[in-house]
Amino acid sequence: MNKTILGYVPEESPIYRTHPFVRVFFLLVVSLFPMCIAAPEWNFILVILVILLMRYSRIDLATLRFYVPVSMSMGSIILISYILVSGHHPEFIQLASLGPIRIYFERIRDAIVVYLRVLPMIFITVFFLSTSRERDIIVAMRSIRVPFVITYLTAMALRAAGMVMEDFSIVRQAEQARGYDPVGKPIAYKLKQWVMYMVPLFALSLRRADEFSNALVARGYNFTGVLKAPKRADYVLTHYRFHASDAAIIILLSGALVALMVLRYRYGYFTLEGSLTSALLHRWLLR
């Protein structure tokens, strides 16, 4: 099994036949698709396609269960915020009112549109993080000649995030080992305890930073500025090759993006007004 940023992928997964750059490209370009699509049902189809892609890549779909409550709370938050920030719009169709808050049909509809735009982006990101190791991100960036400093910083940031999370859980245990019991205590108490996390986390990070900078010196790493950096051998790239299939995927994805944009803005496809969702909403809410 290969350990990726968000989980594990079996080593024989077809996703590994693609060059890491292609995966980064996928992340960036396909995340733009929902931007061109306003019709929620099409974005929903995009989510299904991504899930199928996950299946194809042999990602353990059981891990997706974690994202269900996340998605649901997010959906609720979006809906509620759109309703609360209703304002006064006599041109909208008012469905009901809760005190000073007017619940408009258009707001509900817009909330659904936004939600179905964000959802595919989340799934695409999860897909990317579940199939990539930190190393793949470095490889992707170096293969298009992003300056090493930026590449390295990104990789270290990812790793640091992991270490901070680990420290956090140990500090949490340390607090509990000293009798810290948040059950039944007021919010102010809990907040104060949260602030206390900062002290050891900072202490640990500072010490680590100190040791890490010594290690960098000992390995001969010299920061000479983003532009003047000497040429690096990029040995890690020797493990990866660009295949024709990689180029094909990139062309396909770029083409799809262009096609989407043309269809949407030139020919008016995927709009909200013509969408199935809109028709359904009209029928259910505006009887």
Partner 1 sequence: MAERHPYIEVRDLVYRYPDGTLALRGISLDIYDGDFIALIGQNGSGKTTLAKCLNGLFKPTSGDVIVEGLNTKNTSITNIAKRAGYVFQNPDHQLFNNNVWDEIAYGPRNLQLPGGEVQARVEETAQVVGLDEKYFTEHPFFLPKGLRQRVAIASILALQPKAIIVDEPTTGQDIKQSLDIMDFLLDLHREQGHIIIIITHDMPIVAQYAKRVIALGLGEILVDGPTRDVFAQPDVLAKTFVAPPQITRLAQRTQHLGFDPHTLTVSEMMEQFQRLIPGQWLGQ
Partner 2 sequence: MAIVEFRDYTWKYSRTKEPALKNINLKVEEGTFVGIIGPNGAGKTTLAYSINGLIPNQYYGVRQGAVYVLDKEVKQYRSDELTKLVGMVFSDPEAQFTAMTVEDELVFGMENLGMGVPEIRERLDWVVPLTKIGPLVEKPPYEVSGGQKARVALAAVLAMTPRIMVLDEPTSMLDPISRITLFEVLGELKHKQSNTIIVVEHSLEHLIPLADRMVLLYNGEIVLDDETEPFFEQMETILEHDAYPPEALRFFYEIGQKGYYQGPLPFTVEEAAQKLEALWQGGE
**Contacts of residue 8, Cβ cutoff 8 Å, sequence gap at least 6:** 1, 2, 60
Please count the helices (runs of H) and the strands (runs of E) in the chain.
Answer: 10, 4
**Out of 92, 167, 237, 249, the residue judged to bind partner 1 by CB under 8 A:** 167
Site string for partner 1, 24-43 (x = CB under 8 A): --------------------
Nearest to 128 by CA among 57, 73, 67, 66: 57
Site string for partner 1, 204-223 (x = CB under 8 A): x--x----------------
Query: Which of these segments, 18-26, 148-156, 201-209, 273-281, binds partner 1 (CB under 8 A)?
Result: 201-209
Q: CA 255, CA 242: separation in Å to the nearest integer?
A: 19
| Amino acid symbol at 262 | V
What token pair was written down for 123?
């799934």
**Out of 28, 70, 196, 229, the residue judged to bind partner 1 by CB under 8 A:** 196
Q: Is 213 in the site for partner 2 (CB under 8 A)?
A: yes
Q: Please give the angle made by the CA atoms of 111, 116 and 118, to the nearest 5 degrees.
A: 95
> Closest distance between partner 2 and the C-beta of residue 218, in Å?
4
Q: Is 161 in the site for partner 1 (CB under 8 A)?
A: no
Q: Is 174 in the site for partner 1 (CB under 8 A)?
A: yes
What token pair was written down for 116?
């179905």
Residues 130-149 that bind partner 2 (CB under 8 A): 133-135, 138
From residue 121, how far is each of 98, 228, 248, 262, 277 by CA, in Å?
A: 33, 36, 23, 21, 20
Which of partner 1, partner 2, none has residue 89 at its interface (CB below 5 to 8 Å by kind)? Answer: none
Q: Which residues bind partner 2 (CB under 8 A)?
A: 3, 133-135, 138, 155, 159, 208, 211-222, 230-236, 238
Q: Which residues bind partner 1 (CB under 8 A)?
A: 167, 170-171, 173-181, 183, 196-197, 199-200, 203-204, 207
